[in-house]
Structure 1
Amino acid sequence: MLALPARLSAFLLCFPLSLSAQASTSEPSKQSTSPVIPAFTANYTLLHKGDPVGNAVRELKYQENNKASYHYHTDIKWLIFSDRRSETSELIVNNYLVTPLHYRYDREGTGRDKSYEWRYDFANKTANNLKKDKQVSLDIVDGLQDKLSYHLQHRLTLINNPEQKRFSYPVISTSGSIKDYVYQYDGEEELMLPYGLVKTIRLKREVTEKKRVTYAWFAPKLNYLLVKLYQVKAGAEQFEAQLASVESKN
């Protein structure tokens, strides 16, 4: 009974999104005067079979020299289970392209605590595991994202190319391996959420070997903010996340 919320939180932290095939970290475009996506804080309600089990917060803060801090955390309490996770990606936002620099992940609660920290050097095609003092070589550099920065990259891709229907994205894991995620456009839908009524586009990802299907909804009028997540595994509902509020910080 305790495994379900753990998967819920893990998915929200690791939700894989897309990168435009046109983007390249080796050829960044000119930085615009103002950011494409203003700084923001978005709050989500996490549910299991319609019952609230926790909340999540996603926020973007800008710094100097085109750098930004992208943060995401979840807090779940369900029966005797508790799970708190936090992710932060320090990155560069150059118009419609995100380049990750430093990634940190922490998890505590019921079960084993976990912590990961990586620093990326794309110029030398290396990634450094700061917790284990270990360096790995990167075969892929162009378009590579960490396990959080791809969330932001996906929004920028949708804003830049809203007609795109298929998304393939390479992401470096906490072990240093790289895996592609593929999402497909799956239609449009109007949703009633805690935030209110919103028109959305829906994307779908199928992982055949794990019998898992993930659906994600994005709202064009909210600058393609992620507003809902839903996952089914082996035909059984796993969880749902719904946007509760969002605050832009221009």
Structure 2
Amino acid sequence: MRTYLSVLLICFPLSTFATTEASITPSPDKPSIEKKYKVPPYNATYTLLHKSDPVGEATRKLTYLDNGNAVYHYETDIEWLIFSDKRSETSTLSIQQDQVTPLHYLYDREGTGRDKHYEWQYQFSNKSAKDLVKNKTITIDRHEGLQDKLSYHLQNRIDLINNPEQQRFVYPVISTSGSIKDYVYTYDGEEELMLPYGLVKTIRLKREIPEKKRITYAWFAPKLDYLLVKLYQVKAGAEQFEAQLSKIEQ
């Protein structure tokens, strides 16, 4: 059961946002400079299920700072049998010409089992990343397009919107230990789904990790600007978890 919680919360995130340009209104005491963003702020809520039974809720939120950078936040709250698990993940990043660049990453987990805390600061232009918890800086040789464990979901969404016919998506991701691995998603068909949010037509992506016998499926709704509406994972043929969109606020 503890393994299920870990799999559920580590693997759920995928980016969700719309593409219509939105204006960010400055506060009265700030210079009157209009800022336009392709990705508007939003707040999405998902129901988390295990074998069709609700076990918790997840939220994902995108906001903008006065300097134009974005804050991409994700959190989960699960109560299942005697277990509890709360996780929070935040990536501060920049978006320039549809390219996401992470600047700061923060992760906290508490509940049944061992609590965890990670915090990283990235300076990819200097080919470096600093573990703020261990006060240790590492050199990164492979930095082009590098993402953290949350920001790559936002980059994936932007790529889907810009090129919905693309069949394969590859993202180099830096882990909380500083190692880098390619995350690969492939197109896997179309499907109409009935969700708590309502009836939606979707396209499906798949990520397969043969060495772990794990497959993750993600559904996106084109008419909702390729919003993530469902996520489902199986391991060695057994269902691990499911997440379904319940509401979206923009």
Provide the TM-score with structure 2 as the length reference: 0.90
Q: Residue 74 of structure 2 aligns with which residue?
A: 72
Contact residue 155 and residue 223 of structure 1 kept, 8 A: no
Which runs of 5 or more residues in structure 1 are unaligned?
18-31
- What is the match of residue 28 of structure 2? none
Q: Are 2:89 and 2:107, in contact at CA under 8 Å, matched by a contact in 1?
A: yes
Distance 2:227 2:35 in 1: 21
Q: CA deviation at 1:16?
A: 9.3
Q: Deviations over 1:15-67 (max 9, x none)?
A: 599xxxxxxxxxxxxxx962222100000000000000000000000112320
Counterpart of 2:167 in structure 1: which amino acid? K
The match for 2:7 is 7
Contact 1:219/1:225 (8 A) holds in 2: yes
1:96 and 1:126 mapped to 2: Cα distance? Answer: 22
Inter-partner Cα distance in structure 1 for 2:8 and 2:210: 19
Query: For the Cα contact (< 8 Å) 2:76–2:86, is it kept in 1?
Result: yes
The one of 202, 209, 212 aligned to 1:210: 212
Q: 2:45 aligned to 43, 46, 52, which one?
A: 43
Tell me which amino acid in the other structure corresponds to 1:81: F
Paired residues of 1:37 and 1:223 also in contact (CA < 8 A): no
Q: Identify the range of structure 1 (33-42 vs 81-90) with the bigger mean alpha-carbon deviation.
A: 33-42
**Tell me, what secondary structure is at the counterpart of 2:125?**
coil
Greater RCO, 1 or 2 (C-alpha within 8 Å, sep 6+): 1
2:131 is equivalent to residue 124 of structure 1: no
Q: Which residue is equivalent to 1:239?
A: 241
Q: Match of 1:188?
A: 190
Q: Is the 8 A contact 2:15 2:228 kept in 1?
A: no
Mapped partners of 1:113, 1:33: distance in 2: 39
The alpha-carbon deviation at position 209 of structure 1 amounts to: 0.6
- Higher mean C-alpha displacement, 90-99 vs 48-57: 90-99
* Cα separation, 2, equivalents of 1:36 and 1:199: 23
Mapped contact 1:69–1:88 kept (Cα < 8 A): yes
CA deviation map 1:107-163 (0-9, x unaligned): 000000000000000111000000000011111111101111111111111111111
Which ranges of structure 2 fall in alignment gaps of 5 or more residues?
Answer: 17-33
Say how many residue pairs are matched: 233
Distance 2:9 2:100 in 1: 24
Q: Distance in 2 between matches of 1:126 and 1:223?
A: 35
5 Å-filtered alignment, 1:64-143, equals: 64-143=66-145
Residue 200 (1) aligns with residue 178 (2): no
Tell me by how many angstroms 1:10 deviates. 1.7
Which residue of 170, 173, 179 maps to 1:171? 173
- Following superposition, the deviation at residue 9 of structure 1 comes to 1.3
Change (3 A) 1:170 1:74: same
- 1:226 is aligned to 228
- Quote the Cα distance in structure 1 between the aligned partners of 2:167 and 2:105: 29
Q: Is the 8 A contact 2:15 2:154 kept in 1?
A: no
Tell me, yes or no, if the aligned pair for 1:67 and 1:92 is still in contact at 8 Å: yes
Deviations 1:184-235 (A, max 9, x none): 1000111110001111110011111111111011111222121111011011
Shift of 1:95: 3.4
Q: d(CA) in 1 for partners of 2:225 and 2:147?
A: 21
* C-alpha contact 1:43 1:56 (8 A) present in aligned 2: yes
